Amino acid sequence: MSTPFVVGLTGGIGCGKTTISNEFKRLGITIVDADEIAREIVAPGSECLGAIENKFGNDILQSDGHLNRAKLRRIVFADPNYTEWLNALLHPKIRAKMLADIADSPSPYTILSIPLLFENKLQHLCNRVIVVDILPEQQIQRVQARDQSDRQTIESIIAAQIDRHERLALADDIIDNSGPQKNSVNKVLKLHEIYTKLTKCV
């Protein structure tokens, strides 16, 4: 059995990681998305959602019983102790599911999309790492347009993430996602060719 070839995909909030991962998916590449897994493990009725409700009260739930992620994010980013508690609850389960999904991937290589790849020191899981990058002001504008978060909350999230220049320095490949989408699509196509060739060397 061959060793899976894993390409990490990361970037700051609002950089457009989903747009890029969708382009790889369109090419037939399996996407293992940490955010999607995180949503799965806090679904209504799950053990993790029960623990979160016990910790923060039933006000942390939406009327339909799902987690109010925006509210939880505000609480957690305001208190490092809550961040530590939540990470200890969720990260082991997310990691286990990620590794299982990578092992089951049928595509030549697998995209492992993790927003906090470097912050959580998970780059060792990857053969290569792509950083999706835009300017900080673009990040703020895109997140405000996406989920109506206030500027202060977005700036706090950006500040809690690894410094942009440090993130870029750690990248094997960079996709500048600040311009027209066709530029990003062309970059994905070029990287797809590279990764497909590299998988044959593993």
pLDDT at 93: 94
Domain 6-38+98-199: assigned CATH number: 3.40.50.300
Domain positions in the chain are: 6-38+98-199
Name beta bridge partners: 137: none
In terms of DSSP H, where are the helices of the chain?
17-26, 34-40, 47-56, 69-78, 80-104, 136-147, 151-160, 164-170, 181-199
**pLDDT tens digits for range 17-61:** 999 999 999 999 999 999 999 999 999 999 999 999 999 999 999
**pLDDT tens digits for range 139-150:** 999 888 888 778
Average pLDDT, the chain: 92
pLDDT at 2: 65
The pTM of the full predicted model, rounded to 2 decimals, is 0.86
**pLDDT tens digits for range 156-198:** 888 888 999 999 999 999 999 998 889 999 999 999 999 999 9
Residue 1 in this model has a pLDDT that exceeds 60: no
Percentage of the chain modeled with pLDDT above 90 = 72
In this prediction, residues 4-19 reach a mean pLDDT of 94
Quick one: CA dihedral 79, 157, 38, 44, positive or negative?
positive
pLDDT at 202: 60
